[in-house]
Each structure stands twice: as C-alpha cells, then as structure tokens.
Amino acid sequence: MYHRKHHPLRILKQVILYVLLIGATLLALAPLLWMTSTAFKPESQVISYPPQWIPQSPTLANFQYILKNFAFGRWWFNSIFAAVVSTALVIVLDSLAAYAFARLNFRGSQALYALILSMLMVPMQVTIIPLYLLFSSVHLIDTLTAVLLPTTGNVTGIFLLRQFFRNIPLELEDAARIDGASHLQIWWRIMLPLSRPALVSVAIITFISSWNNFLWPLVVSYSDASRTLPVGIGQFFGGASGVSGSAPQFGPVMAAALLATLPAILVFLVLKSYFVRGITMSGMKG
Amino acid sequence: MNEILHPVQNGRVNGHESRVCGRANAVSTMATALKATGRSADAATKSMEADIPKSTRRARQYSPVAYLFVLPYLIAFVLFRFGPAIVGFLISLTDWQIVGKPNVVGLSNYRLLMSDPQFITSLANTGYFVLLTAPSLILLGLLLALLVDQRLHGRVITRTAIFMPYVVMSTVVGVIWLWLFNKESGILNYYLGLFGIRPVAWLTDPATAMPAVAMATLWWTVGFNMIIFLAGLQDVPQELEDAARVDGASEFNVFRHITLPLLAPATFVVVMLTLINTFQVFDQIYVMTGGGPSLATLTVILYLYDQAFTAFRLGYGSAVAYVVLVVLVALALIQRRLLPESEA
C-alpha cells in the first residue's frame, strides 16, 4: 500500500474529479435555475443578450397572470386530492392482500399471485382504451374518481409488501395468536407497525406516480373539474398550444412551471432518504 | 478468487439478519420481480422463497378468511388492470369507432397496421429515440454513480442535484426545454453561439427534433439510474476491492473484475427499466413537439393516442397497444438471455 497523498498524479486525479463533480451539478441545476429566473422577469426582460441569470427587476406579474387566467388552484387541488386518495387506497388494499399472500393458506393463492405478477410488465398505456370505455359506460368521465381509481390495480405494491411481510419473524405473530388475536388484529397491530419502511416506500412511489401521471388523466379529463396539474400544464403551455408558440410568452409559462415544481422539490428535499429508498426498492416509475 | 466471490454473487453477503430486520436487498428484489415476468411466475416465487430464513417458513393452516383480505384488491386488479388488458385484445379484433356498432374483423387491424406508413414511421421513430436515450442513460447513470461514490467533498450535493430533475413532472420538463431549445431566444443557442455555432432550430427541424427531446429526457431521468447503480455499488463489499488493490490490481481491473460483476443485479434493473420506459415515451413529446415537425417525433404511444382519442378508432388503437405490449415482452425476454444470471 503506497498512500502518497501529495503525489502529483493523485492531485491531478482529484482536480479532474472535482471539475466533473461541479460540472455535473451545474448542468443538472441550470435548467431549473433558468426556469426560476425567467419566472420572476417582467416581459421586457425575459429575452435579453447576454442572458441574465439574476432578474434585474424581479416581479410577481407572471404568477398573477397565471393565477388569474387559469384554474391553477383547482388543478393543484385535483392533483393533491388524486394523489392522496389513491395512495391511501393502495396502502390499505395492498397491505391487506399482501398479508394474505404472505401468511395465510388458501386455495388458489399460488395461481392468483402468479396471475397478479404476470401483469407487472403490462403498462398503463396498453389498457387506456378499455379503461376509457369502462369509465364512460358508468358516466364517470371527467371526474376525479376516474382519474384516481385505476391506480388501485397496481402490482408493485403487492409484490414489495408481500416480500417484506414474509421476512417478519413468525414468533411475533404466534405470541399474538396465543393471546387470541384475529388475523385482522395481527395485520393491524403487528404487520403494519413492523413494516413502516416498506409502507412509506410504497406510499411514496404511489404518490409520485399519481402526481406525475399524464396520459390517463389527459384522456379522461375534459374540464377544470378533473384536470390535474400535469394535464393543465401540458394542454395550455405546450408547444402546440399557442401560448408559447410563435410569440413566446415564457415568463408566465415558467411561473406556472415553478409553481408546479417547487412543492415537489421541497417535499423531496425533506424526505430525501425515503425517496431514495422508495426508488431503489421499486425501481418503478409507473 | 472465485471462492471469495461466489457467496457474494449469491447475494448472501449481508446475511439473513439484515433481511429479517427489513433491509432486504432492494435492487436484487426488483431484479427477481422483473425476471419473474419472463419466467414462469411459479418458479420465481420458489426461487424467492429460498431466500427466506427457515424460522418464517412452516406449515400454514388453511384459512378461508384470506379471501376477504384479498377481495378488495382483487376487485380493483380485475377491473382496472387484468380486465382491461384482456378486453383490450378483444377490442383490437373489432372496428370499433366511438359511435356506431362495432363489428368483429378478426386480425385485419393488425394486417392494416403492417402496411400503415404512419405506424411504421412511429415504430422507427420510437426505435430511434430508444437508441438515442437508452445507451447514454445507462452509461451516464453508471459513470455518475461511480463519480458520486468517490470520497469527495460535496458529493451528496451533487447526488441531490442530479436526482432533482426526476422529481419534476414530465410536462414541466417539456415546457422548460421548450424554452431552453427556443431558436431565437433560448439560452442553449446563445451559449453555442459563443463557440461560433449558428442558431439551431432544435424542435422545428425534423433532423434535430428527436435528439433534442432525447437530451431533455437524459437530463430528466439519468438521476434515477444513478440512484439504482449507487445502491448497487453500496452493496459491493469494500474489503473485496481493497484486497484486490493490495494484490496490485489497477483501478480499471478492480472495476472490470470485481465491481462490475457484482453490479449485475442493479445493471439488470436499470437496463430493463430504461428500455421499458424509453420505449413508451409520450409526455415530453406531446408537450414539446406534438409528434412533429412532419412526424419526425411521432412515437408509437403518440400514434396510439392519436388513433384512439383524436380519430376515435378504438379497435385500431387497441391493435397498436397490443403491438407495444408484444415488443415490451420481447424486450424482456431478449434481455434475460443477454444479461448474466448472477443475482439472488
């Protein structure tokens, strides 16, 4: 072992690594910083040569424009509502079923579980047409119910929770059973409290995928009553929509982008370790 | 050397204790799940069972109450997942438009697809997008993970910064990059101009539109792959790498013969998910180009959406959806062949 700390080659290597580290950080952050900077610029300064990263005369006019002309608050509420309700539903439904698959013996359990797993590779995109017909046949198109319900058919949650439950020692349960606890009590008093990390991960994955979901809400919502943030932004501020087309009005568009992004980033910074664990546990986006 | 490596490759280096405490090796768990869909699910369940400590396995009593636990989820699963997946195929055998009565037309939608120039274009464009994004997403994800795994000051800040774009919703990513790529006043063209490069019509030129979308996608999701690789790297026992270094192995050889083989489960997950996700690209393209200019960024999911929800050809759209499904399953099967089977 020759740890020559001040060897010239070693120093050169360190310098290169730090240059890469700083370069990667700047490249990753630049688009977000530029969005933020543009959002606070008055229309006359949005386009300037050379680009100004710090607005000369910051203004909130772009935010006022967005809040006045679009049902932004409503999109916000819809997104939060859909994400919270679908996460709650997924946690309850998945943990109940996962408990049965992990611990209880019933006829057909193997076949049923295999059937569920077989859908892991079937993406939402393949099912949107039948889903659309299903919800239109019960007159639920353009409702938040239609936006959020399909999330409950997810497979990842079942898989992760079943795996986790199976690794909880049986002795804990045996003790409870001797005391006369029912399966429901064991699920509630033992499995759920002991599985908090897995439950948090499943909750975060479900929340993110609902919060970001675009294609299905785009298909199923026609009005602000059920329009979520991604859909509102995609429909009104996209390249084909005109707002930012030939005569760019990027100030208001970036204000909307910032309003939609900031909360997510703040939540991410606070719950960072849970995010990372959720991502690595599931490795799943949708 | 092999004797040292072998038990680690079986994923047991962390021992059973950590699994019982709930720190199951997440990456290899997911790898197992992904493989399970290719193999028979039953065999996969068995191979997973082998990982479980004996104390939690034992004869279980027959309990009919289980059906009540499974029922609520099962209803949701059948209504919103399994049912639609089956019904989708049946719809693809009809000429269903949103109005009027559907007729069964057999496989003729699929025959039509094969000679539909727009569909062929959309398939080719999707392949092009996958080629542009998947290799760079995987490679860059790995390189970034190796970089932020070094003992450097500020590496946590870099990790956070690189992952942060992933938290931004897809349509916001679209509008941000619309602005960056703007021909007249976007900053990308401004900074390229400093190097003497004339303004590029990124999103309005058919030649550059797809690479531009690919660049935005790279920025958006490379952090996700980095995180999975990083988790994989942290499962690689430091002692093994150190031992090889003591024996005089170069950094490259340590990486090539120790780190990389032990990263196989993470690599499997990353490659699989990157292929699946890039093949289904929709959101950014819908926002940035809408499939244009002159169909240069029309991908299969965009075509599916257009056919089903703009032209209201539900039968035809369903056929497109099923072709997508077949491609995804094929990708999964090919991938299982190509990557070494070395995870737990």
Polymer length in residues for chain B:
344
pLDDT at A121: 80
Q: What is the CATH number of domain B117-338?
A: 1.10.3720.10
The one-letter amino acid at B299: T
CA distance B304 to chain A (A): 9
Token readout for B123 is: 């398939």
Which positions 50-89 of B are in contact with A (Cβ < 8 Å)? 52-53, 55-56, 58, 60-67, 69-70, 72-74, 76-85, 87-88
Which positions 47-106 of A are in contact with B (Cβ < 8 Å)? 47, 49-51, 89, 92-94, 96-97, 99-101, 103-106
Predicted TM-score (pTM) of the model is 0.86
Nearest residue, CB atoms, A129 vs list B40, B55, B317:
B317
Using pLDDT thresholds of 50, 70 and 90, give the confidence band for residue A204: confident
Residue pair B266/B240 in contact (Cβ under 8 Å)? The answer is no
Question: How crowded is residue A82: how many other Cβ atoms within 10 Å of its Cβ?
Answer: 25
Give the span between the Cα atoms of A221 and A232, in whole angstroms: 10
Residue B104 DSSP label: B
| Digit-coded pLDDT (tens) for A215-238 | 999 999 999 999 999 999 998 888
Mean pLDDT score, A192-200: 89
Domains of chain A are 64-232+244-282 (1.10.3720.10)
Question: Percent of chain A at pLDDT above 90?
Answer: 47
Using pLDDT thresholds of 50, 70 and 90, give the confidence band for residue A3: low
The verdict on A2 touching B (C-beta cutoff 8 Å) is no
Residue pair B211/B296 in contact (Cβ under 8 Å)? The answer is no
Lowest mean pLDDT: which of A114-118, A240-244, B111-115, B316-320?
Answer: A240-244
Nearest residue, CB atoms, B77 vs list A153, A169, A198:
A153
Which positions 118-177 of B are in contact with A (Cβ < 8 Å)? 144, 147-148, 150, 152, 154-155, 157-158, 160-165, 167-172, 174-177
Chain pair A-B, CB pairs under 8 angstroms:
361
Q: Strands (DSSP E) along chain B, which ranges?
A: none
Question: How crowded is residue B259: how many other Cβ atoms within 10 Å of its Cβ?
Answer: 18
pLDDT at A105: 87
Residue B80 DSSP label: I
Residue pair A34/B179 in contact (Cβ under 8 Å)? The answer is yes
Chain A residues within an 8 Å CB radius of B182: 248, 250
Preferred mutation among B71, B77, B323 to probe A, highest tally of A CBs within 10 A: B77
Q: What is the mean pLDDT of chain A?
A: 87
Residues of chain B with pLDDT under 50: 1-24, 38-45, 47, 49-50, 53-59, 342-344
Give the span between the Cα atoms of B330 and B324, in whole angstroms: 10
Apex B211 CA angle, B205 and B213, nearest 5: 90
Mean pLDDT score, A99-113: 90
| Digit-coded pLDDT (tens) for B194-213 | 998 988 889 989 999 999 99
pLDDT at B16: 33
Give the span between the Cα atoms of A2 and A68, in whole angstroms: 67
Q: Tell me the three state secondary structure of residue A209.
A: helix
Token readout for A67 is: 């809040």
Q: Strands (DSSP E) along chain A, which ranges?
A: none
